[in-house]
């Protein structure tokens, strides 16, 4: 099962950029993927359950997640930058200014810092 709208997202509108900030603690770098198009980002991944037995209580999420972020203006996904640090994903997405968008989905490279 894929969970939608699970992790909170902040979106900041700057003059030339959108900033997306998403708390996703405990995600391994290889389990996170970001794609985007003309006016959206799709952030998906999975969080693997820790291998303990005999849980008395289990409230922390594990499994697959997907979050779609829509923007009111076209974005330049080719110039977007993503960084994951201390459980927080930061994405800087330039607005499309006087450019033509080529209708394609692009996967972002993510910089992982500790």
Residue 2 has pLDDT above 70, yes or no: no
How confident is the model at residue 44, as a pLDDT? 93
Please report whether residue 114 resides in a domain: no
Residue 61's SS3 state is coil
Query: What per-residue confidence (pLDDT) applies to 1?
Result: 55
Q: Domain for residue 54, yes or no? A: no
So what's the pLDDT on residue 34? 93
Please return the burial class of 47, using the count of CB atoms within 10 Å of its CB with bins 0-12, 13-18 and 19+.
buried
Question: What is the domain range of residue 9?
Answer: 2-49+59-109
Tokens of 44: 């998906």
Record the pTM: 0.83
Mean pLDDT of all residues belonging to the chain: 85
**The dihedral formed by the CA atoms of 23, 62, 84 and 4, expressed in degrees to the nearest 10:** -60
Examine residue 100 and state whether it is found in any structural domain, yes or no. yes
Residue 22 lies in a domain: yes
Which CATH number goes with the domain that contains 8?
2.60.40.790
Q: Where residue 63 falls among pLDDT bands split at 50, 70, 90?
A: confident
């Amino acid at each position: 099962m894929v969970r939608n709208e699970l992790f909170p997202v902040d979106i900041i509108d700057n003059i030339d950029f959108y900033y997306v900030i998403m708390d996703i603690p405990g995600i391994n770098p290889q389990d996170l993927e970001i794609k985007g198009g003309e006016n959206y980002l799709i952030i998906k991944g999975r969080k693997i359950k820790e291998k303990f037995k005999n849980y008395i209580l289990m409230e922390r999420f594990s499994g697959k997640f997907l979050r779609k972020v829509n923007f009111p203006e076209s974005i330049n996904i080719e110039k977007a930058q993503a960084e994951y640090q201390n459980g927080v994903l930061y994405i800087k997405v330039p607005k499309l200014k006087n450019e033509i968008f080529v209708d394609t989905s692009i996967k972002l490279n993510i910089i992982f810092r500790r």
